[in-house]
Chains A and B, each alone.
Chain A
């Protein structure tokens, strides 16, 4: 949680959902009695489409759902999983809550910092890795637990991390 979530970034171009995404959005809309209720799922579609959610994307979502851009911004910044700027190919999410903390999450984090030369919230120069800390991800019995993109890797330790980082494309 190193970065405050106040600003959206511009992608520099208008955001138009590709047809397949548009169809997913239509199917999503059919499952809720209000358009507003589809906001979180539609934001996920946006993130899956572009990897992150730009100001243009947030305005397109607002347009599709008849919401004010301010409402969408309020939601986007409240929830930590929506990427407000581009992230590396591999988003390294380190759990730092109590069970992982007492299992050595801090040491794991320090190791990753020195291995990659970046700090929390930063991305490596080659665009491969972004490091973030997260709160409990329910991997406590396999602590320290972490996720890379949508996959759990647990338990993790410095040696295993080194191997993994070396393997990831």
Chain B
């Protein structure tokens, strides 16, 4: 297990964003190798397949396999690569770091990936709130054009490529790949029906691949040091490569940490190189392992919990965006669930019935319980409503995400909900003793 910093190698260094720093570090040499050293687009895709790289945006789908879904004959349509920089999953902040501190690592990965996909023009869809990230990326793009790593006939290879930085304007659902595509087309970011899948019919009706910032950042390293090297990092051959973990909540040292895929949860929370334990020596009550859409885990469940796709799937949760949110013993779980329900009700796009009506319903009921107006039947109701919102009821899996915190919090902290309802106040936390104001 190497503790080498691969993705975060330049983070923290002065002028880490500059192309000079990047090139001096060996940056764009891999691009040169791929474009002029005899690599075909197919061989690049094969290498990425062999590496076992799985999408770092949340879904964990094997990247090389996804690239393979683009039809061999695109019937004259161009292929588009879209870098998903819409990072909006609560608890996630790794892409922001990558873009603000080492934009060229993203760009080089994106250009190599574009070459593999025979893509002439790609976009970086970056969330509107990342003003600084967009400025830094644009500066990096300009530098890359200036140095001939973008534009016509890159490095004399015959491969030409353009990158456009495209800013979103405040919508979590635009991180969903078809919501992103709709938004890029200049519409409301309402996800599309699948099939057809973006690889066949995506943006502007053309084959499209959407990849996360961190995923693209890995591509350079795979092509640089080989798929085998990448595949050896990580817990097993299904969970490979270096991974960025976003640690937040009641730990001493929140932050972005790089470790081989499969780092143990407890190591991340308590390790000296990582979170360094709970603030004020408190105990862990619950951990959300993969962003707001992931089922929360109890303190018992984080014993022997490898932080990778399969490890968390085995715990009936998910790695998602690798956003580990730690809640201590003074956290009211009802309050946390209400806050998460608020998020989903604000971010639902509204196009399909179960999610549009269900997410505010869940939020209202939870809010009522939190405010001391809960009823005994509310717990059952929350579970029933959640269970009739997902599993194919909706166009996209936003609803499935929205019900995860509700079902997992009730499922694992049922007594706390009961207490809250019966006593009209929190079991723990700052509001447990104070009288709760009944809101309208």
Contacts and interface: CB of A to CB of B under 8 A. Distances in A.
Q: Do chains A and B touch in the complex (CB under 8 A)?
A: yes
A136 B292 CA distance: 10
Contacts, number: 141
A111 B188 CA distance: 35
A39 interface: yes
A97 B343 CA distance: 7
A44 interface: yes
A139 B91 CA distance: 8
B186 A141 contact: no
Closest 8 CB pairs of A and B: A79-B169, A39-B186, A80-B170, A81-B170, A141-B254, A150-B131, A140-B248, A36-B186
Contacts of A44: 128, 167, 169
A97 B90 contact: yes
A38 B170 CA distance: 16
Interface in B190-227: 204
Nearest to A77: B188
Given A75-B188, A98-B336, A142 B170 contact: no
Interface string B113-137: 0000000000000011111100000
Interface of B: 87-93, 95-96, 127-132, 162, 164, 166-172, 183-189, 204, 246-250, 254-256, 288, 292, 323, 325, 327, 331, 335-336, 339-340, 342-343, 346-347, 349
A34 B186 CA distance: 9
A147 B327 contact: no
A136 B291 CA distance: 11
B305 to A, nearest CB: 19
A88 B8 CA distance: 38
Contacts of A33: 204
SS class of chain B's interface: helix, strand, loop or mixed?
mixed
Given A36-B185, A80-B169, A1 B93 contact: no
Contacts of B247: 141
A43 B169 contact: yes
By CB atoms of chain B within 10 A, which of A32, A78, A139 has the most?
A78
Contact of A40 (B169, B246, B349): B169
Contacts of A134: 129, 170
Interface in A84-139: 96-99, 101-103, 134-139
Interface residues of A, number: 45
B295 to A, nearest CB: 14
A141 B167 contact: no
By CB atoms of chain B within 10 A, which of A1, A31, A34, A67 has the most?
A31
B248 A143 contact: yes
A165 B187 CA distance: 37
B254 A143 contact: yes
Given A31-B164, A80-B170, A138-B88, A101 B185 contact: no
Contacts of B172: 135-136
A32 B162 CA distance: 11
Contacts of A81: 128-129, 169-170
A75 B169 CA distance: 10
Contacts of A164: none
Contacts of A1: 346
A80 B343 CA distance: 13
A82 B88 contact: no
Given A80-B170, A81-B170, A140-B246, A40 B88 contact: no
Interface in A138-163: 138-143, 147, 150-152
15 contacts: A34-B185, A37-B204, A43-B169, A78-B189, A78-B349, A79-B170, A79-B171, A81-B170, A98-B292, A102-B327, A102-B331, A136-B91, A138-B95, A141-B254, A151-B131
A14 interface: no
Contacts of A32: 164
Contacts of A103: 249
Contacts of B89: 136
Contacts of A79: 128, 168-171, 189
